[in-house]
Structure 1
Amino acid sequence: MSESSSGVNTLSNSLPKSHLSHYSELGVAHLPASVHQSPDSGLGSTPLPSSRFRFTSWHHLPQCDLTGDQLTCPRVREGPSDEEFIQREVYSLCVEQWKKKRIEKVGQTWEERRKENWENCVELNLSYQDLGDAFQQENFVRILRRLIRVEKLQLVNNSLKNLSSVRLPRCRILNLQQNYLVSLCQLPKLPAVEQLCIAENAISSLEGLDALKSSPLRSLNLTLNPVTFTQDYRARVFSCLPNLETLDGVPMLPGDQIHTGFHFPRITRMCNIL
């Protein structure tokens, strides 16, 4: 494993040859003088070539052939520029107008869009992105909408509040643990989901669970949500999801079935005539 300039781990065997050759040609003369290596690093006093890119996102690197699906945990968090912050203060009463200007000004180029390559991601980890600004949330949702082929997706601890506008048509495994979801209606559309983890959110009711009824969902985790303390919680979940096998890590038990009525034994009377 090696560390990329954007602070993410990359698979060394997935690095294109052109990217490796580009780094091998970089000389020490082009590096900042403030970069130092520890004596026990085994590299002597020569700084790493990637140090000059430590403040640059991977898809902004010149002559970089890396795509988003080749990174173990790509860093996608971005912040608005200083000019955008000024526009927020000046046009606080005209939010829609400001958004239009920002989209026209900061729109992605085709080259940047190609390097991200989200459409071809099959397994992706976008956890712990520290999305503290509305701009970052919007950019994150934009990326999620491009995941049309992803099958395994990790979105742990991203302060996500609403993903109802996102559709993940091929996603089989989704982890939304430690976010700010308050309702199952805020989940993305998951027609192919088999394993879903929504633990440690703020879901207080089962409203919206019907949307998962037609999916092949076999495992659901709602641990540490307020809804797990409601009456007949497990029975109501199993009755709504016919394909469900495991809830909160516990397989379906005999007591997890709702009995709609009681069957009393039939009483018959016999009269013997002597």
Structure 2
Amino acid sequence: MNRIYDSVEPRVMDDDLLKLAVGEQGPQEEAGQLAKQEGILFKDVLSLQLDFQNILRIDNLWQFENLQKLQLDNNIIEKIEGLENLTQLVWLDLSFNNIKVIEGLDTLVNLEDLSLFNNRISKIDSLDALVKLQVLSLGNNQIDNLANIIYLRQFKHLRTLSLSGNPITQADDYKMFVYSHLPDLVYLDFRRIDDHM
């Protein structure tokens, strides 16, 4: 995948990068100043934004045990890993990376919104633990088999699904296949599903 920042060295998720990210998104008023003076406890952080950092590997997030929102889009991540301690995570964005396989999400039992948009994924699987999943974005990947839709039937809370830009969407019966196997879906590929469908 050609990226504007391909020439930049891949970065490691070390304490310095994490402190910088937490510091930049904290309030700039009195509370932010106090946090800078006294230090930031990673366990108190609820949201972490690490987009456009040229991160190659997810690491060092074990201290963020109460994190609810994690933004790791637009990096060069190749593998989903290092998330096992983030059991409170509700929202995860791994879009625009180089991920080929869905994995490493087994402990994220509270996850409701997962974006893997624009990666290199060819099969939808290994999401079984995500029983609260409501929004799944897998557009612009390499999914080409309608059987992947059947796997998604187990997600009773799934209301929004994006698969646009995948070879699967070129099948003549794609939409009807999705509607018939996921009857509780409300949005497919950024469009509300008509009631008569």
Q: Between Structure 1 and Structure 2, how many residues are aligned?
A: 171
Are the structure 2 counterparts of residues 204 and 186 from structure 1 closer, same or farther at C-alpha, using a change threshold of 3 Å? farther
What is the Cα deviation at residue 78 of structure 1?
A: 6.2
**Which among 56, 77, 88 is matched to residue 131 of structure 1?**
77
**CA RMSD after TM alignment:** 3.1
The C-alpha deviation readout for 1:61-117, integer Å capped at 9, x for no partner, is: xxx4242735641469367xxxxxxxxxxxxxxxxxxxxxxxxxxxx9xxx76xx53
**Which among 65, 70, 81 is matched to residue 119 of structure 1?**
65
Give 1:17-32 correspondences, 5 Å limit: 17=34, 19-21=35-37
Counterpart of 1:12? 27
8 A contact 1:76–1:129 mirrored in 2: yes
Are the structure 2 counterparts of residues 211 and 242 from structure 1 closer, same or farther at C-alpha, using a change threshold of 3 Å? same
Counterpart of 1:73? 49
8 A contact 1:153–1:174 mirrored in 2: yes
Return the alpha-carbon distance in structure 2 between the equivalents of residues 67 and 76 of structure 1: 22
Are the structure 2 counterparts of residues 141 and 229 from structure 1 closer, same or farther at C-alpha, using a change threshold of 3 Å? same
Indicate whether 1:147 and 2:86 are aligned: yes
Counterpart of 2:154? 214
Counterpart of 2:102? 163
Largest Rg, 1 or 2: 1
Indicate whether 1:234 and 2:175 are aligned: yes
Give 1:79-118 correspondences, 5 Å limit: 116-118=62-64
Return the alpha-carbon distance in structure 1 between the equivalents of residues 104 and 76 of structure 2: 21
What is the Cα deviation at residue 125 of structure 1?
A: 0.8
Question: So what's the TM-score if we normalise by structure 2?
Answer: 0.72
Counterpart of 2:12? none
Return the alpha-carbon distance in structure 1 between the equivalents of residues 87 and 26 of structure 2: 23
Q: Which has the higher contact order (CA 8 A, sep 6+)?
A: 2
Are the structure 2 counterparts of residues 71 and 233 from structure 1 closer, same or farther at C-alpha, using a change threshold of 3 Å? closer
Partner secondary structure for residue 154 of structure 2: coil
Q: Kindly provide the amino acid, as one letter, of the partner of residue 73 in structure 1.
A: Q
Partner secondary structure for residue 81 of structure 2: helix
Return the alpha-carbon distance in structure 2 between the equivalents of residues 239 and 119 of structure 1: 39
Return the alpha-carbon distance in structure 1 between the equivalents of residues 160 and 129 of structure 2: 17
The C-alpha deviation readout for 1:174-233, integer Å capped at 9, x for no partner, is: 111111101112557421111111111111112233332132111101111100001210
Task: Looking at secondary structure, tell me which structure has more strand per residue.
Answer: 2
8 A contact 2:105–2:126 mirrored in 1: no
Indicate whether 1:243 and 2:184 are aligned: yes
Counterpart of 1:264? none
Return the alpha-carbon distance in structure 2 between the equivalents of residues 188 and 177 of structure 1: 19
What is the Cα deviation at residue 163 of structure 1?
A: 2.1
* Structure 2 gaps, min length 5: 1-15
* Structure 1 gaps, min length 5: 23-63, 80-107, 257-274
Q: Kindly provide the amino acid, as one letter, of the partner of residue 42 in structure 2.
A: T
Q: Kindly provide the amino acid, as one letter, of the partner of residue 190 in structure 2.
A: G
8 A contact 2:65–2:85 mirrored in 1: yes
